[in-house]
Amino acid sequence: MDENFADLVAAEDVLLFVNAAVTATGQREFRSSADEQRLSLDFLHAYVRVNHRPLYAASLALDINDHNAALVAENLLRHAGEAEDDQRRLEGRLVAARLAALPPQRVYRLFAALRAARVNNRRTRAVMRDWLAARPDLAHDAVKYRAGLKGAARHAHVRPGAAEVGDFLFAPRRRTRYDDPRLDAHRRARYEQGALYELPFTVAEGFAAHHGVPRAVFLERMAPRMTRLERLRAQGREGAPRADLAAMPLTRLALYALSLGPEERVARRMELTGALRAAARRAAGPYAGTWGRVAAVLDDSYSSYGSGVKRRRPLAVALGCHFLLEALAGPGGCTALWTSGATDPLMVRPWGPTPLGARVLDALETRPERLLIVSDGWDNAPPGLAGEVLRVWRSRLDPERRTSVVHLNPVYDADGFDVRRLAPSVPTAGVRDAEDVPSLVEIARFAEGRTGLAELRAYLDRRVALFLGDA
């Protein structure tokens, strides 16, 4: 095989994997089941790990989602023998750095998967030991993630934290009381109702049900110990505290806004809009106001509902992008066009067909410097019009590429092992969170086919150096 052609194939393989690793979570989507998603994703991980292992490991430094980051870490540890010594050392640093950034419950699930698969090599034990040693409060973990911490400690052959943490996990009847207030509160909560309010929210819920505490009373008294996400999930329930929406991440906030009924959205318009704009400004960061004149085509068709387990996720990404692109746009501003023709972003809902072609034409008429299309790629009113419009625009009307066009797709296509594309001439990147758009647009340029593996490898090396603090 020609070397240049082989490099292009390798670059395409890696970009295809990155798109999948950003969007896919192994859960049911609008057009594919959970089993189809998992089977497709497992094949893709195995293929890229075997054929492009160094680049597979480097993906841990990119904005892939937590589900795939845990899968990459698991596969690197399970198949450690495939790598050379130098590569194993770099992989160990990447795995350790990524695990430090993952939510603890996901790391404990990863450790449980490694234990179930009987992966107990020296590097795996070292990763577990170092991660546990870096935990800021193992007493808190012992209460909140008891089974996970206990399994990880056994697998790595370590005694976690202080002696009483070990007793709490492995010999709970040895002590009649604990010096640590949380460990002792967990002991007392079995028979003392007041002790449950000293525990983390998710642990206290079980004890509250055991004692028959009314939900409203429980939420009101637990308010000081609830996290931001727990407050957001409890919104609308009697006794629940108000969440600080201004501090929420952009996509999470968009999901919350879309979960409200139309009447509540109207009543809270100023609060919700202000919070979304504040989150968008934080997400834009140093890129705010630097993108010039922007046009956006945003998909709110019926398929943007997603599925029962990812309810309104594609629509929430589009809504987050609406406010983020407003913050990123320069003096020319941002023109946002929804496929339904909606003009009020706060009131969008998933319905109707996907006339992407017509909306792309409307967007191009504004002569933007950047055009971003946020859609699952199922252009069906009429089918294929968007791709044809973009092909003619790129080949006949704008061959000098005065307008930069990028398609961002929030849905993984299990059958195609990638996100669905609109046109070969338009770079497509997978997106899960709207706040990742600036970095995704940067990596999307490699999908145009004008850069090869060397440029992509150099980009990944830079991201790895930044991620590991070597830059």
The reply to whether 367 falls in a domain is: yes
pLDDT of residue 175: 87
Tell me the pLDDT tens digit for each residue of 380-402: 889 999 999 999 998 888 888 89
The single-letter code of the amino acid at 454 is A
Tokens 């194939």 label which residue? 9
Rounded to the nearest integer, the mean pLDDT of the chain is 91
φ/ψ of residue 353, rounded to 5? -75, -170
Q: Domain with 301 in it: what CATH number?
A: 3.40.50
Determine whether 411 is exposed, middle or buried from the number of CB atoms within 10 Å of its CB (0-12, 13-18, 19+).
Answer: buried
Same-domain check for residues 237 and 280:
no
Write down the pLDDT at residue 448: 65
Least-confidence region, from 88-92, 228-232, 280-284, 378-382: 228-232
Residue 283, in any domain of the structure: yes
Residues 266, 236 within the same domain:
no
* Domain end point (choices 243, 262, 282): 243
Q: Same domain for 194 and 307?
A: no
Question: Do residues 256 and 366 share a domain?
Answer: yes
Domain boundary among 243, 277, 312: 243
Statement: residue 5 has pLDDT above 70: no
What is the arrangement of strands in the sheet containing 428-430, beginning at the earlier edge strand?
A: 334-338, 294-298, 370-374, 404-409, 428-430
In a domain, 77, yes or no: no
Provide the pLDDT for residue 297.
Answer: 97
| Residue 141 resides in a domain | no
Question: Would you state the pLDDT for residue 288?
Answer: 93
Q: How many domains is the chain partitioned into structurally?
A: 2
256 & 375 share domain: yes
Give the model's pLDDT for residue 239: 63
Q: Is the domain of 344 the same as that of 200?
A: no
Give the contacts of 233 (CB within 8 A, at least 6 positions apart). none
Where residue 235 falls among pLDDT bands split at 50, 70, 90? confident
Q: What is the mean pLDDT of residues 59-82?
A: 95
What phi and psi, each to the nearest 5 degrees, are found at residue 391? -65, -45
> Residue 72: inside a domain, yes or no?
no
pLDDT top residue among 206 and 455: 206
Instruction: Kindly state whether residue 416 falls inside one of the protein's structural domains.
Output: yes
Instruction: Encode pLDDT of 119-153 as tens digits.
Output: 988 899 999 999 999 999 999 999 999 999 999 99
Same domain, residue pair 228 and 263? no
Considering the domain architecture, whether residues 270 and 312 belong to the same structural domain is answered as yes
Q: Supply the pTM of this predicted model.
A: 0.91
Average the pLDDT over each of 33-42, 379-388, 452-461 and give the range with the smallest value: 452-461
Of 243, 261, 285, the last residue of a domain is: 243
Does 146 map to a domain? no
Query: For 44-58, what is the mean pLDDT?
Result: 95
> Where residue 451 falls among pLDDT bands split at 50, 70, 90?
low
Phi, psi angle pair for 419, to nearest 5°:
-85, 145
Average pLDDT over residues 161-168: 88
Is the domain of 283 the same as that of 236? no
pLDDT band of residue 344 (cuts 50, 70, 90) is: very high
Query: Residue 1 above 50 pLDDT?
Result: no
Question: pLDDT band for position 228 (50/70/90)?
Answer: confident
Determine how β-strand 404-409 pairs with β-strand 370-374.
Answer: parallel
Whether the per-residue pLDDT at 261 is higher than 50: the answer is yes
C-alpha 311/C-alpha 314 separation (Å) is: 8
Regarding whether 237 and 260 lie in a shared domain, the answer is no
Q: Which residues have a Cβ under 8 Å from the Cβ of 271 and sit 6 or more positions away?
A: 245
pLDDT score for 450: 53
Which residues lie below 8 Å from residue 67, measured CB to CB, with a gap of 6+? 24, 25, 26
Mean pLDDT of the region 79-107: 93
Do residues 238 and 351 share a domain?
no
Residue 242's pLDDT band (boundaries 50, 70, 90)?
confident
Give the pLDDT score at 209.
93
Phi (first) and psi of residue 106, to 5 degrees: -75, -35
Look at residue 103 and tell me whether its pLDDT is greater than 60. yes
For residue 213, is pLDDT > 80? yes
- Tell whether 268 and 236 lie within a shared domain: no
**Which domain, by its residues, includes 195?**
189-243
Q: Tell me how far apart the 2 most distant CA atoms of the chain are, in Å.
A: 81
Examine residue 437 and state whether it is found in any structural domain, yes or no: yes
